[in-house]
Structure 1
Amino acid sequence: MSHIDAATVRSLIAANPDVLVVDVRTPAEFESAHIDGAINLPLDQVDAHLRRIVAHAGGRMLLICQSGNRAERARSALSGAGLDDVAVLDGGMNAWIASGAPVNRGRARWPLERQVRLISGSIVLASVVASLWIPATVLIAAFIGAGLAFAAVTDTCAMGMLLARLPYNRTDGADVEAAIARLRRI
């Protein structure tokens, strides 16, 4: 079972507190709200340390992100590298919070998806308004629209990947070595 709903995850964690809950969101998103006991290992770090994670992970691993897309990308990479018992929280933290499940809250931050909508919408609006004076600037809006369509078709988001690298989204950053060490102990 590669996707499980929030109610099933709650039962799974209650029955087996040693399940590896790995949150692949940015450190800022993780700081904002996360499941108690979750390990923060951002998606870009999962990709960078794939072999080490597979070598050290023991037991069932549950992957979480904001909506489920990044967690699914991490699951696919981990499964492809030989880690079999990996599941994704269907709907991510959005579904977890909507189900009324307990959450550790910290400083509120905007999720990457919301940041992408703000930036892309602002660029489109600005370029359309600017096109009233400089008609060619409407091409910027077309470029952003094409990028969003490509992101939907490929289930990737170049703007989101770039925004994830900004200091605002990194906070102090995820401690990859500590996260991998926790994978070993569980």
Structure 2
Amino acid sequence: MTAENISPATALVLIEQGARLIDIRDADEYAREHIPAAQLYPLASLEQGTTLQTTANDVVIFHCQSGNRTRNNLSRLITAAAPAQVKIVEGGIDAWRQAGLATVEDKSQPLPLMRQVQIAAGVLILLGVVLGYGISSAFFLLSAFVGAGLTFAGVTGFCGMARLLAVMPWNRR
């Protein structure tokens, strides 16, 4: 079985005709902004074997932030939605927003955790370089430490900075 890529406008028409829209992003991303008709099924839950209750007559449309996660996990999504027809929103919620279609946005929600990690890592690396040139070359070790941590996270899938940021007061729900 294959999936068809569709535009946000086509997706909206299909949703109005009864198709299910499934958001596979993480819960923190969904809380910050989502498409009104979207149901949250994070990719992690689908990886654990969660399946959608569908029939062969159903149409299930998947989306993520930019379309990359949906493309990279297409076989898993097709399996989770079987036997329904599977469609993918080309460009994800970013394309949906660019098409001028409505989203539900809650700016009071914290930034998605991975964006927080990117910001924190970038600031720490920049700080290490600036302090290394301005005060003492020992501060370059800060940049090296953060770089090593990011490499470790990429290789193992464990991100200590993400775990630390997740328990910060602004991320508690």
Q: TM-score, normalised by structure 2?
A: 0.69
Question: Is this contact kept in 1: 2:20–2:38, CA < 8 A?
Answer: yes
Q: Which has the higher contact order (CA 8 A, sep 6+)?
A: 1
Which residue type is aligned with residue 57 of structure 1? Answer: T
Structure 2 residues without counterparts, runs of 5 or longer:
none
What root-mean-square deviation, in Å, do the aligned CA atoms of Structure 1 and Structure 2 show? 3.6
- Residue in 2 that maps onto 1:4: 6
Give the secondary-structure state (helix, strand or coil) at the position aligned to 2:61: strand
State the partner residue of 2:148.
143
2:129 alignment partner in structure 1: 128
The CA deviation at 1:8 is 2.1
Partner of 1:57: 54
Q: What is the match of residue 103 of structure 1?
A: 103
- The answer as to whether partners of 1:23 and 1:40 remain within 8 angstroms in 2 is yes
> Which residue of 2 is the match for residue 26 of structure 1?
26
Which residue identity lines up with residue 91 of structure 1 in the other structure? G
CA gap 1:99/1:158 in 2 versus in 1, 3 angstroms: farther
Identity of counterpart residues, as a percentage? 25
Residue in 2 that maps onto 1:183: none
Structure 1 residue runs without a partner (length 5+): 152-156, 172-186
1:83 alignment partner in structure 2:
82
Check the 8 A contact 1:127/1:141 in 2, yes or no: no
Partner Cα distance (2:63, 2:37) in 1: 12
Distance 1:43 1:130, change over 3 A: farther
- Does the CA-based 8 Å contact 2:28-2:113 persist in structure 1? no
Kindly tell me the number of residue pairs found equivalent between the two proteins.
160
Pair member with larger Rg: 2
Structure with the higher helix share, 1 or 2 = 1
* Aligned residue in 2 for 1:38: 38
CA distance in 1, matches of 2:143, 2:30: 37
Q: Which residue of 2 aligns with 1:166?
A: 166
Judged with a 3 Å threshold, the aligned counterparts in structure 2 of structure 1 residues 122 and 57 are, in CA distance, closer, same or farther, namely farther
